[in-house]
């Protein structure tokens, strides 16, 4: 494609995206496509001769958009907000358009230095001390893998330089039963093995039970095992539960563990000073991950990983072949040594666009709006008979059940999934049905998760959602 052709199709594509965003609120939120429906539209082989960009744009209108689930829809309450602010979309376009690749500082000085500055800006926004060093990763899953590799190497005295993890006592990893699946996955990939990854019980508010954890640590130590890492959650996936970082830091010190904090979703809330008590003790952690690609508004993917000891990180991750050595080594960070991939995209460009065009004030105002909307819905639910919240509302996620009288537990489970699916199928809103375990009885049951925080979700949308929820449950009240 020539620059002239790019200019023409590029303008059309920008127009397509802008028009899509203007009208996304009129579309059914969830895709009702059948499996294979998109696949069946696509030719089996690549075209032998060129096709016109116009024919691709036509396919986007006809085949793609009508079959999408609309994450940017104001009535999207499923999973978590994955906000793609259009400013960051421009940053993404620029990142690709400039065709930059970071291998070392010299391969693209602005890529490294804007990333450095953006990690600092975010650090200030989160209220973290200057002693933290940040790097952008693709996802929280990768950052957590890096954290556990660093933990493994610190606790084992650099076993990678000897016989690997088998060369010493069994290393143990701990997190709560509510921890994200990426933590167990990272632990397995980092070589800990299933039996060395322990899941700890939670308290009534779904935060890790630090008394039970202490018993686990003592038990393992007595059995000749070596506690290696504790992964704390600031905002669990199911209920946004907040682990007690202060107590976990105390345990980490006592037992010589690395403390990694998974704030993938809720980390964004820490740009609000009034929310920082939720991760009280954070300054004592060894590493933190948070995803600007969720609530904050940077289009996927952009995950920020902070470490206290960047020298240790580089020592674990560094490879230094001669063809990548330059005179700037030691003067500027070589981010290839701060994570797993060698090459890196210009992801910082997306942050740069979002933070400059919005400003911190607007981002704070939007997050406060979402929290207020969640509190409003919380009040409605508490005031209405037969409705119940199954977990404390910490930020913008509500765990909801509608419990008509005289239903058995099994009936209730079926009913909950049924009204949630009915709303999702209607296209009016999208919610997530999920299982929640009662911390007292250990019995699991179905609930409906309402995650508020799409860019365009106003109080009116949340009011309409509450009406819809009542309508779809009316015959059973
Ligand atoms: C979303 C989420 C993750 C995983 O994030 P990815 O960036 O998709 O890997 C991990 N932990 C928590 C608490 C999350 O909310």
Indicate whether residue 263 lines ligand 1 (CB < 6 A). Answer: no
- Same structural domain, 103 and 46: no
By the 8 A CB rule, do 187 and 148 touch?
A: yes
Residues 146, 232 within the same domain: yes
Are 145 and 256 in the same domain? Answer: yes
Residue whose pair of structure tokens reads 């804007």 in the numeric block: 114
Is the CB of 180 inside a 6 Å radius of any atom of ligand 1? yes
- The region, left, alpha or beta by phi > 0 then psi within -120 to 50, assigned to residue 442 is left
407 CA distance to ligand 1 middle (Å): 35
Q: Is residue 392 part of a domain?
A: no
Q: Which domain holds residue 59?
A: 3-68
Closest-CA residue to 423 (of 82, 72, 78, 20): 78
Residue nearest to atom 15 of ligand 1 (CA): 265
Pair 123, 256 in one domain: yes
- The residue from 298, 332, 354 where one domain ends is 354
pTM: 0.96
Return per-residue pLDDT of the chain as tens, 477 residues.
999 999 999 999 999 999 999 999 999 999 999 999 999 999 999 999 999 999 999 999 999 999 999 999 999 999 999 999 999 999 999 999 999 999 999 999 999 999 999 999 999 999 999 999 999 999 999 999 999 999 999 999 988 888 888 878 999 999 999 999 999 999 999 999 999 999 999 999 999 999 999 999 999 999 999 999 999 999 999 999 999 999 999 999 999 999 999 999 999 999 999 999 999 999 999 999 999 999 999 999 999 999 999 999 999 998 776 666 666 677 888 999 999 999 999 999 999 999 999 999 999 999 999 999 999 999 999 999 999 999 999 999 999 999 999 899 999 999 999 999 999 999 999 999 999 998 778 899 999 999 999 999 999 999 999 999 999 998 776
Co-location of 184 and 265 in the same domain: yes
**What's the CATH number where 275 sits?**
3.40.640.10
Domain count, the chain: 2
- DSSP classification of residue 346: -
Q: Which of 237, 292, 340, 432 to mutate to test the pocket of ligand 1 (most atoms within 8 A of CB)?
A: 237
Q: Is residue 465 part of a domain?
A: no
Pocket test for ligand 1, best of 262, 434, 449 (most atoms within 8 A of CB): 262
* Separation of CA 265 and ligand 1 centre (Å): 7
Residues 184 and 298 in one domain: yes
Length of the chain: 477
Q: Please write down the long-range contacts of 321-326, taking CB distance under 8 Å and 24 or more positions apart.
A: 324/103, 324/104, 326/104, 326/105, 326/106
Task: Please check whether residues 223 and 314 belong to one and the same domain.
Answer: yes
Cβ 373 under 6 angstroms from ligand 1: no
| Segment holding 433, helix H or strand E | strand 432-437
Q: Is the CB of 140 under 6 A from ligand 1?
A: yes
Q: In angstroms, rounded to a whole number, what is the distance separating the alpha carbons of residues 119 and 251?
A: 29
> Under a CB-based contact definition with an 8 Å cutoff, are residues 261 and 140 in contact?
no
130 CA from centroid of ligand 1 (Å):
25
What CA–CA distances, in Å, run from 331 to 45, 105, 132, 327?
A: 49, 9, 18, 8
State the CB neighbour count (10 A cutoff) for residue 217.
23
Phi, psi of 258 (to 5 degrees): -80, 135
Residues in contact with 196: Cβ distance below 8 Å, sequence separation at least 6, in sequence order: 170, 171, 172, 173, 187, 225
* Residue at a domain's end among 50, 68, 86: 68
Q: How far, in Å, CA of 261 to CA of 115, rounded?
A: 21
237 lines ligand 1 (CB under 6 A): yes
Q: Are 344 and 83 in contact (CB under 8 A)?
A: no
């Amino acid at each position: 494609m020539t620059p002239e052709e790019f200019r023409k199709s590029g303008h059309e594509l920008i127009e397509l995206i802008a028009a899509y965003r203007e009208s996304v609120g009129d579309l059914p939120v969830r895709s009702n496509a059948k499996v294979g429906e998109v696949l069946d539209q696509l030719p089996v082989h690549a075209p032998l001769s060129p096709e016109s960009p116009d024919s691709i744009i036509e396919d986007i209108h006809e085949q793609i958009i009508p079959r999408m689930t609309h994450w940017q829809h104001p009535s999207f309450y499923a999973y978590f907000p994955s906000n793609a602010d259009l400013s960051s979309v421009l940053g993404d376009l620029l990142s690709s358009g400039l065709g930059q690749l970071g291998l070392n500082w010299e391969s693209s000085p602005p890529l490294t230095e804007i990333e450095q500055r953006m990690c600092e800006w975010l650090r200030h926004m989160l209220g973290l001390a200057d002693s933290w060093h940040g790097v952008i990763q693709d996802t929280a899953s990768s950052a957590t893998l890096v954290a556990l590799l660093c933990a493994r190497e610190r606790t084992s005295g650099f076993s990678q330089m000897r016989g690997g993890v088998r060369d010493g006592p069994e290393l143990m990893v701990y997190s709560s039963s509510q921890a994200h699946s990426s933590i167990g996955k990272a632990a397995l990939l980092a070589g800990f093995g299933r039996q060395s990854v322990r899941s700890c019980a939670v308290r009534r508010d779904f935060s890790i039970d630090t008394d039970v954890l202490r018993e686990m640590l003592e038990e393992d130590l007595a059995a000749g095992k070596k506690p290696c890492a504790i992964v704390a959650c600031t905002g669990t996936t199911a209920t946004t539960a907040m682990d007690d970082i202060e107590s976990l830091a105390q345990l980490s010190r006592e037992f010589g563990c690395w403390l990694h904090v998974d704030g993938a979703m809720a980390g964004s809330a820490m740009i609000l000073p009034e929310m920082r008590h939720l991760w009280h003790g954070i300054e004592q952690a060894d590493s933190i991950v948070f995803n600007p690609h969720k609530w904050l508004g940077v289009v996927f993917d952009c995950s920020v990983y902070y470490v206290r000891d960047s020298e240790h990180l580089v020592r674990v991750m560094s490879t230094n072949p001669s063809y990548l050595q330059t005179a700037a080594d030691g003067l500027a960070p070589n981010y290839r040594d701060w994570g797993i991939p060698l090459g890196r995209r210009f992801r910082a460009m997306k942050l740069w666009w979002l933070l400059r065009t919005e400003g911190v004030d607007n981002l704070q105002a939007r997050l406060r709006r979402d929290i207020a909307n969640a509190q409003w819905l919380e009040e409605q639910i508490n005031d209405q008979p037969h409705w119940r919240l199954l977990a404390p509302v910490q930020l913008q996620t509500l765990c909801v059940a509608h419990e008509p009288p005289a239903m058995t537990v099994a009936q209730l489970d079926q009913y909950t999934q049924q009204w949630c699916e009915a709303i999702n199928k209607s296209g009016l809103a999208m919610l997530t049905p999920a299982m929640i375990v009662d911390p007292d009885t250990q019995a699991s049951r179905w609930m409906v998760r309402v995650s508020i925080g799409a860019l365009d979700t106003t109080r009116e949308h949340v009011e309409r959602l509450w009406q819809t929820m009542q309508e779809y449950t009316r015959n059973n009240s």
